[in-house]
Structure 1
Amino acid sequence: MRLLEQSFQTSILVALPTILAVCAALLILSRVRLWYKQSHLRNIPGPPAETFAFGNLSQVFNLQGWGFHESIAQTYGRVVRIWGLFGDAQLHIGDPKPLYNILIKDHDIFEETDSIIETNKLFFGMGLLSTLGEHHRRQRKLLNPVFSTNHMRYMIPTFYSISHQLDDILKAKVADGPQELDVLEWMTRVALELVGQGGLGYSLETLDEGKSNRYAEAVKMLFPTAGRLEVLRLFLPYISNLGPASFRRWAIRLVPSKNIKLLIDATDVMDETSKTVFYHKKEALEKGDDAVVHQIGEGRDIMSILMQSNLAADEHDRMPESELLSQMTTLVFAAMDTTSSALSRILLLLSRNPRVQDKLRDELVDARKDAGGDLDYDSLNELPYLEAVCRETLRVYPPVNQLLRIARKDTVLPLSTPIRGNDGSTISEIIVPKDTNIMIGIHAVNTSPEIWGPDAAEWKPERWLSPLPESVTNARIPGVYSNMLTFSGGGRSCIGFKFSQMEMKIVLSLLIPSFYFSPTKKQIEWLMGPVSAPVVSGGTKPSMPLMLSPVQTV
C-alpha cells in the first residue's frame, strides 16, 4: 500500500509541470476568446500597455502606484480602459452612476473575481469574504444584527478597557521625556486586541510586549506574504478544485517556495486558534448564561452573539460550524489592517498639522472634562471636530484604494456624462461583456474634483464643519458611509464599518489628550497594497516612527 502511495505521489510530481502548463494554456485561451468580445472596449481611452503579457497590471498594483492612479484620473477621466493579461481590456471606474449599477442595482452580475474568492477560501474557509450570491446573503443576514448600533453600545466598556491599557503603556514609555516610537506597531497591537476581545471574546495579549502570540503573528504576516505571490493568484481558479483537499495540500507543499510554506503555516495557526476559541465558546453556551458571562467580553462579543443567533435561527438560515469558524478568522483579518492603517494615517497627519492636532485635543479634553471621564457612544459621535478629522482622513486616504469585480454575464453600464472614444465617437453607455474585469476606484471617487471641488485631493477637516457642496449630494455616491466609497456599498459593503469607527474614536479620545505627536527626521512613505501601509523611505517593512511627548495636565 505504501509503495502504491509513493508511486502515485511520484507520478503526480512528474506530471506537475504539465498540469501547470495546461493551466497556463487554458488561461491564455480564455484571454484570447475574451479579446474578441471586447473589441469595442478598446475604443475607450486609457494608458498604453507597459507589456503585452501583463498590460498595465504591474502599474495598477504597484506598491508605489500612487502616481499612476493619479495620472490616469487626470488624463482620461472617471472611466478608463486598462490593459490586463494578453490584451484583456479592463475598466477602471470612478463614476458614481455606473458604480451604482455595479455595487447595488446589478450586484448579482458584478461579483468578486474568481482569484479573490479562491484566495479567501484558502485563507479563511467559507466565511463572508469567500461566498457569493444567496450563500453570501444568508451569512450576512445572520451577521447584520451583531454589527448594529445597539450592539456597538454594549461593547464600549471593552473598547475603553483596552484603549486605557495602551494609553498607560505609552505614558510609561515617555515618562522621562519625548520618545520615538513605531506608532504603526502599537496601532496594530491595539487593533488586534480590540477585535480579539470585542470580536472573538478572546485576548490575543498583543499589548503585552513580553509575550508572543502565534495567532497574532500569523494574521500580521498574511497580507505581506500573499502580496509577494500576486501572479500565482491568477492560476488559483484553474487548480483550486483539482482532486480532494488532501491532495491539493500535499501538492502545494511540493512547490519550492518559502512564501507558500509561510502561508500554509500561518493558515494552520489561524485555523487551530479559531477552533480553540470556538469550542470554548460552544461549551460555555451549552453550560448556560453563568458560564458565558465569565468569559472575556461577558458574552457580548460578536462571535458569542452570532453563535447564539445561529442557534435561534431557522434551520434553513443556520450556518454550519465550519462557516462559523471561518467568520472568526475573516473578522480578525478584515478588522486589523484597515483599522491600524486608518489610525496610523490620522496620527501622521496630526503630527504634520499641529494646529489641527491642538484643536482636536481641546475638543476632546473639554468633552472628557464635561463627562467626568470616558465618553459614551452618543457623546463620541457628537464631537464635530473628531468626526471631521476621521471623515476627511477616510475620504482622502482610504485604507483600501480599489476593489475588483467581474461581470458574470453581458450587461450595460450607463455613464453620468458621455465620454469621447479614441475614434472621436460619443459614448454614453458601455456594453460590458461577460468575464470583463472592473476596478472600482475608491480613491478616484473620494477625491474627484467634479464631486468635491478643486481642492478635492487636499486634507481639510474643516470641510465637514459646513454643509457639503451640492455636487457631492447630487453625485449620489453608492457608499454606506458619509458620501464616500471608503467602506464600499451595496450587499458586499464593509459590514463592520461602525465597529471600525468606534475603535478609532475611542483610541483617539484617549491618546490625543495624553500625547503630542510630531514627525521624526525619517521620511514616511505609504505602500498601496491591498491595504495601505506606511514604511520608512527606502524600506519594505511596514513601520511609522513618530515622536511622542507627554501632555502636561494642569
Structure 2
Amino acid sequence: MAVTLVQGALIALVSLSLWHLVRPFFIKSPLANIPGPQRTSLWKGNFHQIFNRRGWNFHRELAKKYGNVVKVHGLFGREELFVMDPLALHHIVVKDQYVYEETDSFILGNGLIFGIGLLSTRGDHHKKQRKMLNPVFSLAHMRRLIPIFNPIVIQLQDVLSEQVRLAGGKDVDIMKWLSRAALELIGQAGLGYTFHALDDTKTDSYSETLKRYQPANHNVFLFRQFLTYLLKIGTPKFRRAVVEAIPWKPVQELIIVSDKLQSISKQIYDTKVAAMEKGDEEHQIGRGKDIMSVLLKANRDASEEDRLPEEEIFGQMNGFIQAAHETTTSSIARVLTLLSQHQDIQDKLREAVTSARKEAGGEFDYESLMTIPYLDAVCRETLRVYPPVTHLVRIARKDISLPLMWPITSADGKSAISEVPVKKNTNVIMSILGANLHKEIWGPDAEEWKPERWLEPLPESVGKAHMPGVYASMMTFLGGGRACIGFKFAEMELKLVLATLLHTFKFQPGSKEIYWNMGGVANPVVKDSPTNYPELPLKVTMLL
C-alpha cells in the first residue's frame, strides 16, 4: 500500500514538474522583468550553481551583475528571488515574517530527522516553543556557563599540545579537534552530558551517530526537495511507513541516523528528569546550570498553556546540537585560517588576549572574555566576511509586494523597480553573504577582511541600512522571530577557544592548499582531496 502511494506521489510530482517547465510559455511571469542569469539546465535551472560547494564566485557575481534582488531559476525552471537588499530582508525576516516561512522540505525534513523542535516548527507552534526557550538563552544564563566552558577548552589545549608533539614538526589537522571540542561544549553546557569527545580512549554512541548525519544528509539533499510531497500523505505513522518503503540506501541510512539520535536524546532527557526529581543536579554534569536543566525547570514551572510536551523538549536537543556544532566549528576554523595567513594580526590578538587573561587572574569570566576589543573585532569581522551559513530559503505563503531600499534596473533596461511582486509559493533566497559584503553599506573595502574597522566608528551607511540582523548589523545570525537563539552561546565559545589557543600556540599555513566548501555550512577541505572530508592541516608551534 505504501509503495503504491509512493508511486502515486511520484506521478503527481512529475506532472507538477512538467507544468512548471511549460508554464512560462503560456503565462507571463510577474518576475519577467527582474534581471538575473540564464538557467544552465531546463529542469535544474540554477540550482547547482546556487547550492554548490564551489559556488562562492557565482554568489558574489550575482550582486555585481544584477543588483540587490536577482531572479534565478530553481528546479524545473521555477522562478525564484535571490535577495540582499536590507529593506527587503527586513520585510522577509521581521515585518512579513509570517508570510515568508521556511520551506516544507526544511520543516518536514528536520522534523523527520531531529524531532519536533525549533528547526521543524513554524507559526504559532514555533512562537510557543520560542517563548519557552528565549529566557533559557538569556544573557544571565549564558554568564553561568563559562565555568563549564573553561575546563573543556583547557582539555582541548592539552590534546592539541600532545598532537603537536606527536606531529614532530608536521602539519596538525586541527579541524578534527575543533569539531570534537565544539561537540563536548554543547554536550556539557547545553545538555549536561559528556560525549567524551576529546578522549580517544572512549566512544559515545551519540557522537558516533552524529558523524554519520552530515554525509547521509548530503547524499539525499536533492531528494529532500521532493520529499515534501511524500511527507504530506496521511498521518505521521503512515508517512513514516511511506519513507521506510523507499528502496534507496541513502534514505534508509538517514532513517537509521534519525532513530538513533532521537533514541539517545530520549535517554539523556529521562536521566535529566530523574536527577531533577531526586534533587541530585549538583552531582550531574553541568551541576544544573546547563541549558537543558534550566529548560526542564522552566517547563515544569510553566502554565499548562505554555508547557511543552516531552517529545518537543528532547526534539530541541538534536536540533540545538546540529545547529550549533558545525557552525561554531566552522567559525573557529575560519578565524585560525585567517590568523595563520596574517601573522601581524595573530600577534596583536595574542598580545591582547594574554594581557586580558593576566588581568582576569589566569582564567576568564564572562566579563573579562567578552570585553577584549581586538578579540571582538576579529570575531565580528570574520563572521561578517565569512558567515558559516551563506544563504537561507523562505517561501511566500501569499501574494505580496517586496519593497527595496535601492531600486534595481529592469531586465529590459527601461525602468527602475522599487517593489518586486512576489507570487504565492515563490522561493526567496536570502543571501547572508551578499548582505554582509554590501559595498553600499560597508564601503568599497566591504569584501576585505579588516578587523580594525570595528575599532573605529563604522560608516554612517551601516546604521542607515537598518539591516535586520540580531548581531552587529549583519545577517550572520539572521533576525526576527527565527534569529539564531544561541548566538551568544556561539560567540562566547568562539572567543574562549581563540583566547585559550592563541595563548599557547602559533598557527601558520600548512603544506597543503586549503579550499573552503560552501555547502550548508562552510567547511575547509584539502584542495583536490578525493574524500572532500573537512580538514584543516596547519603548522602549529608550541609557545609555552
Relative to the length of structure 1, the TM-score reads 0.94
User: Hey, what does 1:206 align to over in structure 2?
Assistant: 197
The 5 A counterparts of 1:122-201 are: 122-175=112-165, 178-201=169-192
User: Hey, what does 2:373 align to over in structure 1?
Assistant: 384
Out of 515, 521, 525, the residue aligned to residue 505 of structure 2 is 515
**Offset from partner CA, 1:345-368 (integer Å, 9 cap, x none):** 011111111111111111111111
Secondary structure in 2 matching 1:418: strand
Measure how far apart 1:41 and its partner are.
0.5
2:292 maps to 1:300:
no
2:537 maps to 1:545:
yes
Conserved 8 A contact 2:115-2:262? no
Out of 505, 508, 514, the residue aligned to residue 524 of structure 1 is 514
User: Hey, what does 1:432 align to over in structure 2?
Assistant: 422
Conserved 8 A contact 1:115-1:237? yes
**Offset from partner CA, 1:361-390 (integer Å, 9 cap, x none):** 111111111222112111111101100110
Q: Quick one: distance in 2 between partners of 1:37 and 1:382?
A: 57
Measure how far apart 1:268 and its partner are.
1.5
Q: Quick one: distance in 2 between partners of 1:15 and 1:300?
A: 48
Q: Quick one: distance in 2 between partners of 1:36 and 1:522?
A: 53
2:30 maps to 1:40:
yes
Secondary structure in 2 matching 1:210: coil
Secondary structure in 2 matching 1:314: coil
**Offset from partner CA, 1:376-418 (integer Å, 9 cap, x none):** 1111111011001100100000000001001111111111121
The 5 A counterparts of 1:40-119 are: 40-119=30-109
User: Hey, what does 1:533 align to over in structure 2?
Assistant: 523
User: Hey, what does 1:463 align to over in structure 2?
Assistant: 453
Alpha carbons of structure 1 residues 114 and 60: separation in structure 2 relative to 1, 3 Å? same
Measure how far apart 1:22 and its partner are.
2.4
User: Structure 2: which amino acid aligns with 1:109?
Assistant: V
User: Hey, what does 1:4 align to over in structure 2?
Assistant: none
Secondary structure in 2 matching 1:315: coil
Conserved 8 A contact 1:42-1:89? no
Q: Quick one: distance in 2 between partners of 1:395 and 1:313?
A: 38
Instruction: State, as a whole percentage, how many aligned pairs show the same letter.
Output: 48
Secondary structure in 1 matching 2:404: strand
Measure how far apart 1:85 and its partner are.
2.5
Secondary structure in 2 matching 1:42: coil
Conserved 8 A contact 1:35-1:88? no
Q: Quick one: distance in 1 between partners of 2:195 and 2:202?
A: 10
Choose 122-131 or 242-251, whichever is displaced more: 242-251
User: Hey, what does 1:280 align to over in structure 2?
Assistant: 271
Conserved 8 A contact 1:193-1:204? yes
Q: Quick one: distance in 1 between partners of 2:42 and 2:183?
A: 42
Alpha carbons of structure 1 residues 267 and 475: separation in structure 2 relative to 1, 3 Å? same
Choose 39-48 or 240-249, whichever is displaced more: 240-249
Q: Quick one: distance in 2 between partners of 1:36 and 1:469?
A: 48
Conserved 8 A contact 2:2-2:245? no
Alpha carbons of structure 1 residues 518 and 334: separation in structure 2 relative to 1, 3 Å? same
User: Hey, what does 2:332 align to over in structure 1?
Assistant: 343
Alpha carbons of structure 1 residues 425 and 315: separation in structure 2 relative to 1, 3 Å? same
Q: Quick one: distance in 1 between partners of 2:488 and 2:28?
A: 40
Choose 418-427 or 50-59, whichever is displaced more: 418-427
2:389 maps to 1:400:
yes
Secondary structure in 2 matching 1:236: helix
Secondary structure in 2 matching 1:459: coil
User: Structure 2: which amino acid aligns with 1:166?
Assistant: L
Conserved 8 A contact 2:515-2:527? yes
Q: Quick one: distance in 1 between partners of 2:283 and 2:21?
A: 56
Measure how far apart 1:28 and its partner are.
4.2
Conserved 8 A contact 1:38-1:89? no
User: Structure 2: which amino acid aligns with 1:378?
Assistant: E
Alpha carbons of structure 1 residues 454 and 443: separation in structure 2 relative to 1, 3 Å? same
User: Structure 2: which amino acid aligns with 1:493?
Assistant: A
Conserved 8 A contact 2:17-2:76? no
User: Structure 2: which amino acid aligns with 1:304?
Assistant: S
Relative to the length of structure 2, the TM-score reads 0.96
Secondary structure in 1 matching 2:180: helix
Q: Quick one: distance in 2 between partners of 1:369 and 1:132?
A: 46
**Offset from partner CA, 1:421-458 (integer Å, 9 cap, x none):** 12222211111111111010100010111111111111
User: Structure 2: which amino acid aligns with 1:482?
Assistant: A
Conserved 8 A contact 1:178-1:550? no
User: Structure 1: which amino acid aligns with 2:211?
Assistant: K
Measure how far apart 1:280 and its partner are.
0.6
User: Hey, what does 1:353 align to over in structure 2?
Assistant: 342
User: Structure 1: which amino acid aligns with 2:253?
Assistant: L
**Offset from partner CA, 1:65-92 (integer Å, 9 cap, x none):** 1111111111111111111233321110
Choose 541-550 or 166-175, whichever is displaced more: 166-175
Measure how far apart 1:179 and its partner are.
4.2
User: Hey, what does 1:230 align to over in structure 2?
Assistant: 221
Measure how far apart 1:506 and its partner are.
1.0
User: Structure 1: which amino acid aligns with 2:391?
Assistant: Q
Measure how far apart 1:219 and its partner are.
2.0
Measure how far apart 1:101 and its partner are.
0.6
**Offset from partner CA, 1:249-289 (integer Å, 9 cap, x none):** 3443343333222211211111111011000111112222x
Q: Quick one: distance in 1 between partners of 2:184 and 2:258?
A: 19
Secondary structure in 2 matching 1:174: helix
Unaligned runs of 5+ in 1: 1-10
User: Structure 2: which amino acid aligns with 1:411?
Assistant: I
**Offset from partner CA, 1:449-474 (integer Å, 9 cap, x none):** 11111111111111111010111111
The 5 A counterparts of 1:6-17 are: 12-13=2-3, 16-17=6-7
User: Structure 2: which amino acid aligns with 1:543?
Assistant: E
User: Hey, what does 2:211 align to over in structure 1?
Assistant: 220
Q: Quick one: distance in 2 between partners of 1:164 and 1:271?
A: 30
Secondary structure in 1 matching 2:389: coil
Q: Quick one: distance in 1 between partners of 2:28 and 2:364?
A: 55
Q: Quick one: distance in 1 between partners of 2:113 and 2:321?
A: 12
User: Hey, what does 1:482 align to over in structure 2?
Assistant: 472
Secondary structure in 1 matching 2:233: coil
Conserved 8 A contact 2:68-2:408? no
Q: Quick one: distance in 1 between partners of 2:274 and 2:24?
A: 52
User: Hey, what does 1:493 align to over in structure 2?
Assistant: 483
User: Structure 2: which amino acid aligns with 1:270?
Assistant: L
Measure how far apart 1:37 and its partner are.
7.1
Out of 245, 249, 255, the residue aligned to residue 258 of structure 1 is 249
Alpha carbons of structure 1 residues 470 and 510: separation in structure 2 relative to 1, 3 Å? same
Measure how far apart 1:25 and its partner are.
2.0
Please tell me the root mean square deviation across aligned C-alpha atoms, in Å: 1.7
Unaligned runs of 5+ in 2: none
Alpha carbons of structure 1 residues 469 and 12: separation in structure 2 relative to 1, 3 Å? closer
Secondary structure in 1 matching 2:270: helix
Q: Quick one: distance in 2 between partners of 1:224 and 1:499?
A: 26
